[in-house]
Amino acid sequence: MTVAAAGLARRTRAARSNLRYRWSVAVLAVVLVALMLLYVMLGPVLFAPDLVIKALAGQPEEPLHRIAVREVRLPRVLMAGLAGAMLSSSGAFLQSVLRNPLAAPATVGITQGAVLGAVLALVLTFGSEGALDDLNTLVPMAAMAGGLAAGGLVYGLSYRRAGADPLRLILTGVVVAAALSAATSFLVLLSGSHTDSIIRWLVGSLSTRTWEHLRFLVPVAVLAVPLVVAAIPVGNVLQLGDASAVNLGLRAELARAGVLTTAVVLAAGAVSVVGGIAFLGMMGPHLARTLVGPDLRRLVVCSALVGAIILVAADLMARTFSLDWIPLLGIETESGSRVPVGAFTALVGAPFFVYLLRARA
Amino acid sequence: MIVLACLAAGVVLCSLAWGTPTLSVGQVVGALLGSAGVEDSHRFIVRNLRLPRVIGGALAGGMLGASGAVMQDTLRNPLAGPELIGVSAGASLAVATIVAFRLPFPGIALPIAALAAGLITGTLILSLVSLKSNPMHMLLVGAALTALINALVIAVITLAPNFGGVSIIYRFLVGSLSDVQWDEIRLAAPWTIALPPVILLAGRRLNILRLGDEVAEGLGVGVRRTRAVLFATSVLLVAPVVAIAGPIGFIALVSPHIVRRLLRTSDARVVMPVAAVTGAVLVLAADGAARLALHPHEVAVGLWTALLGAPVLLVLMQRGIFGKRPSA
């Protein structure tokens, strides 16, 4: 093959993968918007699309519509999308930098740290007569602090003179994660009461989330955007291994610390409002990788979209699913005893994930 | 090795002696041997309450430690463990469903159901992955299906009409030895006969697998088949102990790493047996803590394994205390 022909082949391949990327993003975005619309439409009261638009525009036919759409469903769906995107893109960074397919916020202890912070805040405030509004900001703040502290702890424990190598980081992360979740279980067992609301926090739930929670999450997400933009090219180089990174003129340790910080901020922010949703942060990036490959410039965007889609879909199911649909079981459930969304992310995602893995291999 | 053996003996003795009432070493030995002059109540406590619990803990720790070593080398990932083969999740789902919906499974039938469910899910995951040889693929499929089954467990718990059962389910999910009696031991012990031949036969294969697929094929090892067989072996090792004690977390992960760092070797022929003993010691120590630390409350052993195991491993990972870190 001549040089020119080889160059042409390479360019065609690049163009094809570029096209694939654009199509993937477009399709994912359309799916996400459609799902969000569906999310707002469905519920105890069904709305036609035009009613939703009217309510959003502030001209509802009934005041009740306004409340259902703008005060209940809209913040919740926005939060699901944002948190799903943050968790999943955090997982993309972690998998690339730690070079382990099992890496995820919940593998390296960020999630567990945030959950411990939240549960600590919940347990400490149960006795006191604090207003619910205070709790709505106090718990996310405690969770955020816990997540950041756990990230710092893992990095600090892995650090040696030469730096923190990926293997030691992930192993330390798993160990710290186990210790933190054991500590959380201790708190739950010793506190005794209110186990139900705590379990919802452990598993992840979006029920009773309001604009207040979103007001906490959005600044974190905005803060994370420049971090993400800076971390993408750096993470791409780190994926190749430390030696290549150094050869390409990168200070590997500083770069790794930067990318990890980005991942920690994203994950801690998301967990601080939605709780310890497992598996999403691991699955999202893998699904995105089957679409667009390992280049972080594309992977992070796609991971975010996939994560948002999964969490919105899962929460839609969590909100609407009811055991009464299975009359044969004849199980009486108390009203309001809904399955938390954390159970559905895996139910929605895992079969699809396994199918994709098998199809690709 | 000698230190470890002494440690194991010491932990066993302490587990038998301490509690309410605390007995002297002489009383324990007397009760075990059935010599005269030992109160009947003491004999009953040692033989029927504490001894089965100690044996159960040792079995559980040993199996989990060994299978952790097998899985980490088989899948060439330092995080691999029997949690990823579905056995724990399947057993948990069975127990959660039975307890939550008050299905009529009395006494010993519960661990049998857990054992069956664990074996079924383990086989399911194995049949989904064994066609492919890529270890990363096995890891991810295992993780995905485990997450799926755990999600079902959560769904069952939150929907349980029988809220009083939640604490029983929770205890099983975390791992607890408090319900282990002689019946449970009789159920689980025969399976453990499989352990010594596994250690003898698998060690060499694991060492070859660690070199990478191409090298292993070059040395004449059928990589896919070996991996599938080792995976199945792990299922068989872990299923019975999970059925009686629940998925005691963390043991399978830390034991092999502790051994690798202490002995500064990654040779699977050494790591596997020593990891089994280490796992047993860890579980017994954790169970002692579970029984005694917050007496009279008892906190499930699965929490203590993490709380005790994590610092040990973290300390070992600090270079300078135990010399250079071997390649994991």
> Is residue B290 in a domain?
yes
ipTM of predicted complex: 0.71
| Pairwise CB contact (< 8 Å): B314 & A100 | no
Select from B150, B299, B310 the Cβ nearest to the Cβ of A175: B310
Shortest Cα–Cα distance, A4 to chain B (Å):
35
Name the domain count of chain A. 1
> Is residue B244 in a domain?
yes
- Closest chain A residue to the Cα of B326, Cα to Cα: A168
| Pairwise CB contact (< 8 Å): A346 & B159 | no
Angle at A267 between CA A265 and CA A273, to 5 degrees: 105
> Is residue A211 in a domain?
yes
| Pairwise CB contact (< 8 Å): B78 & A171 | yes
Q: What is the pLDDT of residues A193-211, one digit of tens each?
A: 666 667 777 778 887 778 8
Q: Given a cut of 80, is residue A325 above it in pLDDT?
A: no
Work out how many CB contacts closer than 8 A connect A with B: 137
Specify the range with the lowest mean pLDDT, choosing from A92-106, B61-75, B88-102. Answer: B88-102
Q: For residue A62, what pLDDT is reported?
A: 75
Which residues of chain A make contact with B303, given a CB cutoff of 8 A?
182, 185-186, 189
Q: Given a cut of 80, is residue B259 above it in pLDDT?
A: yes
Q: What is the pLDDT of residues A217-260, one digit of tens each?
A: 999 999 999 999 999 998 888 888 888 887 877 788 888 899 99
Specify the range with the lowest mean pLDDT, choosing from A76-85, A340-349, B266-275. Answer: A340-349
Name the domain count of chain B. 1
The residues, any chain, with a CB within 8 Å of residue B215's CB and separated by 6 or more, are B208
> Is residue B276 in a domain?
yes
Owning domain of residue A93: 25-324+335-360
| Pairwise CB contact (< 8 Å): B79 & A174 | yes
> Is residue B281 in a domain?
yes
Angle at B301 between CA B295 and CA A193, to 5 degrees: 65
- Which residues sit opposite A163 in a β-bridge? A160
Which residues of chain A make contact with B148, given a CB cutoff of 8 A?
346-347, 350-351
Shortest Cα–Cα distance, B240 to chain A (Å):
23
Structural contact between residues B136 and A101, judged by C-beta atoms closer than 8 angstroms: yes
Count of beta carbons in the 10 Å neighbourhood of residue B210: 16
> Is residue A351 in a domain?
yes
When comparing pLDDT for A336 and A311, which is higher? A311
Tokens of B229: 């067989």
Q: Which residue of B128, B148, B299 is the best one to mutate when testing the A interface, meaning the one whose CB has the most A CBs within 10 A?
A: B148
Select from A175, A332, A353 the Cβ nearest to the Cβ of B144: A353
C-alpha to C-alpha distance for A163 and A166, rounded to whole angstroms = 10
Each as own residue / partner, the long-range contacts of residues A60-66 (CB below 8 Å, 24 or more positions apart, any chain) are none
When comparing pLDDT for A86 and B132, which is higher? A86
Q: What is the pLDDT of residues B70-82, one digit of tens each?
A: 888 888 777 777 7
Structural contact between residues A217 and A269, judged by C-beta atoms closer than 8 angstroms: yes
> Is residue B327 in a domain?
no
- C-alpha closest to that of A65 among A49, A79, A82: A49
Owning domain of residue B134: 2-317
Select from A101, A185, A346 the Cβ nearest to the Cβ of B147: A346
Tokens of B127: 């049949």
Select from A195, A200, A333 the Cβ nearest to the Cβ of B161: A333
> Is residue B296 in a domain?
yes
Angle at B307 between CA B2 and CA B258, to 5 degrees: 35
The domain spanning residue B269 has which CATH number? 1.10.3470.10
The domain spanning residue A239 has which CATH number? 1.10.3470.10
Residues in chain A: 361
- Which residues sit opposite A160 in a β-bridge? A163
> Is residue B325 in a domain?
no
Tokens of A197: 């609301």
| Pairwise CB contact (< 8 Å): B154 & A340 | yes
Select from B145, B151, B299 the Cβ nearest to the Cβ of A354: B145
Shortest Cα–Cα distance, B167 to chain A (Å):
9
- Segment (H or E) for A322: none
Shortest Cα–Cα distance, A153 to chain B (Å):
12
| Pairwise CB contact (< 8 Å): B152 & A344 | no
Which residues of chain B make contact with A155, given a CB cutoff of 8 A?
none
